[in-house]
Chains A and B, each alone.
Chain A
Amino acid sequence: MQQLSVRHLLGIKEITPQDIQLIFETADQFKEVLNRPIKKVPSLRDVTIANVFFENSTRTRLSFELAEKRLSADVINFSASGSSVKKGETLLDTVNNILSMKVDMIVMRHSSPGAPHFLSRKIQANIVNAGDGTHEHPTQALLDSFSIRQRLGEVAGKKIAIIGDITHSRVALSNIFALQMQGAEVAVCGPPTLLPKHIGDLGVKIFWNVREALQWCDVANVLRIQLERQTGKLFPSLREYALYFGINKKMLDELDKEIVLMHPGPINRGVELTSDAADSHHSIILDQVENGVAIRMAVLYLLASKG
């Protein structure tokens, strides 16, 4: 059987289209497992996984933890708040201390881009990047593509618009890599202050007008305004952002075609999406969450089998 070309999932950039295909095919089988009366398989019962979160997370962390438990792995959780990181311990020391307790895999979120890449050069355990600063969030991009594939049959040839705060978004970058790798066309849309300067170099289309972006795309992946990462004023007010870049159900209904609406969560209702849009039939937001567990099970399973 095929196997992943990598020992760590650091980013979409590091993997191949074949890897993505293999992860999707494995996730299909795990989705079936998740619909059984007993949603647990014993595959990873001799594997210990540490979820090391130096940054806040609800969904991703729950999703990883559930995936790990569904695979029967032993799980330990670490969060930076209330830990010795506050006492000045370095990243490498923290992780080495965790590893000396015989941990096989590390799922890590960190506010510094490249933190998991740095670790991968220093330690033996398999590493899964659960988000590194504004760089990559590979499992989110995988579950987004997997959800598109589930709704539209395939990703190749589809037009996907990523709308919102692109500069501060690791989801955007991982999605651009993943979608292009699978043969989709990608556009970004947002106020100029929230688009990286040379984003066009990645081969994406750029829209400044959200209505034009919606008219062009088959799928709109709407991102959250990440106020916690923004330094300085990048737009006048949330109200003004909502007025110019927010999406409501009326805009979706007025299109002469059906589009799919996605959001990686957490949604700021009334800012980037109104409630009626987020809860409309266009939306596959809750499918994304459901698929997240299956995708993470597939990634952990495939990495664990590489040892």
Chain B
Amino acid sequence: MHKRLIVPHALFQIMIRRLAHQLIETHRDFSDSVILGLQPRGIYAADRLQQTLQEIMGITVQTGYLDITFHRDDFRRRATPLAPNATKVDFTLEGKRVILVDDVLYTGRSVRAAIDAMISYGRPAQVELLVLIDREYTRDLPIEATYTGQRVDSLHSQRVEVTWQGQDSPEDVIWLLTPTPDQEEPHATA
């Protein structure tokens, strides 16, 4: 596996702050807005955004975690079962402006499942999508992000890995992984 650094630590911090400021432009005081991080990897981005908004605005934006396992469209089409993660939504979504947050936007299928899962908690007034990395030209469904950290051109065989300081890496960095010729990657669905 060949690893190329596409977003180094310093740029990562700038990107998060920019996304936070973009959110403030639209949501102002966040009185009716909530952040929903998608399990498993979008929750780190959601937490970081909440923390950054706290630093900038001094307010705590309601943040939850949404698991999409039971709403995915590839159940029974895979060799192994899908492991569910915890959902933590301690507030109603009825009439709220929801910001769905994920680390990477690829085929759009996770986002489709997330919208489906989210509706179980009420009828939001508006739904937006924020992603750190948008893998362009790889969509299976007509889904686009409202806020994008960075666009990346990639092949299906490649993988984008967002690693978080304090979780699985000494620094916040984003990698593009390319399989070496002897490794044939199965078609990922992240």
Asked whether any CB of chain A lies closer than 8 Å to the CB of B119, the reply is: yes
Q: Given A29-B86, A43-B75, A305-B75, answer yes or no on A3-B70 (Cβ-Cβ < 8 Å).
A: no
Asked whether any CB of chain B lies closer than 8 Å to the CB of A1, the reply is: yes
Q: Given A33-B70, A36-B121, A43-B75, answer yes or no on A305-B86 (Cβ-Cβ < 8 Å).
A: no
Contact of B70 among A25, A43, A47 (CB under 8 A): A43
Interface residues of A (CB under 8 A from B): 1-3, 25-26, 28-29, 32-33, 36-43, 46-47, 71, 301-302, 304-307
**Sample of 17 further A-B pairs with CB below 8 A, known A38-B119, A43-B71:** A2-B81, A2-B83, A3-B81, A25-B84, A26-B84, A28-B86, A29-B85, A33-B70, A33-B87, A41-B70, A42-B70, A42-B71, A42-B116, A47-B76, A301-B70, A304-B75, A307-B76
Q: Shortest CB–CB separation between residue A298 and chain B, in angstroms? A: 9
In the bound complex, what is the Cα–Cα distance between A302 and B70 (angstroms)? 11
> Within B66-103, which residues are at the interface with A (CB < 8 Å)?
67, 69-71, 75-76, 78, 80-87, 92
Contact B122 A37 (CB under 8 A): yes
Q: Shortest CB–CB separation between residue B92 and chain A, in angstroms? A: 7
Interface residues on B, range: 20 to 34
- Chain B, Cβ-Cβ closest to A42: B71
Contacts of A1 in B (CB 8 A): 80-83
Contact residues of B: prevailing secondary structure: loop
The 6 closest A-B pairs by CB, nearest first: A41-B70, A305-B81, A1-B83, A29-B84, A38-B120, A43-B70
Q: Shortest CB–CB separation between residue A31 and chain B, in angstroms? A: 11
- Chain A, Cβ-Cβ closest to B93: A37
In the bound complex, what is the Cα–Cα distance between A301 and B119 (angstroms)? 21
Give me 8 A-to-B residue pairs in the complex whose CB atoms sit less than 8 angstroms apart, sorted by A's number: A29-B86, A33-B70, A36-B120, A37-B92, A41-B117, A47-B76, A305-B81, A306-B81
In the bound complex, what is the Cα–Cα distance between A301 and B116 (angstroms)? 18
Contact of A29 among B69, B71, B81, B120 (CB under 8 A): B69
In the bound complex, what is the Cα–Cα distance between A305 and B120 (angstroms)? 23
Contact of B121 among A37, A41, A43, A304 (CB under 8 A): A37
Contact B67 A29 (CB under 8 A): yes
In the bound complex, what is the Cα–Cα distance between A305 and B78 (angstroms)? 8
Q: Shortest CB–CB separation between residue A109 and chain B, in angstroms? A: 26
Q: Shortest CB–CB separation between residue B162 and chain A, in angstroms? A: 21
Q: Given A3-B81, A37-B92, answer yes or no on A32-B86 (Cβ-Cβ < 8 Å).
A: yes
Contacts of A306 in B (CB 8 A): 81
Contact A29 B87 (CB under 8 A): yes
- Chain B, Cβ-Cβ closest to A307: B76
In the bound complex, what is the Cα–Cα distance between A105 and B154 (angstroms)? 42
Q: Shortest CB–CB separation between residue B90 and chain A, in angstroms? A: 11
In the bound complex, what is the Cα–Cα distance between A43 and B92 (angstroms)? 23
Q: Contact string, B44-82, partner A, CB cutoff 8 A, digits 1/0? A: 000000000000000000000001011100011010111
Contacts of B69 in A (CB 8 A): 29
Contact A302 B81 (CB under 8 A): yes
Most buried by A among B67, B76, B116: B76
Contact B76 A46 (CB under 8 A): yes
Contacts of B75 in A (CB 8 A): 43, 304-305
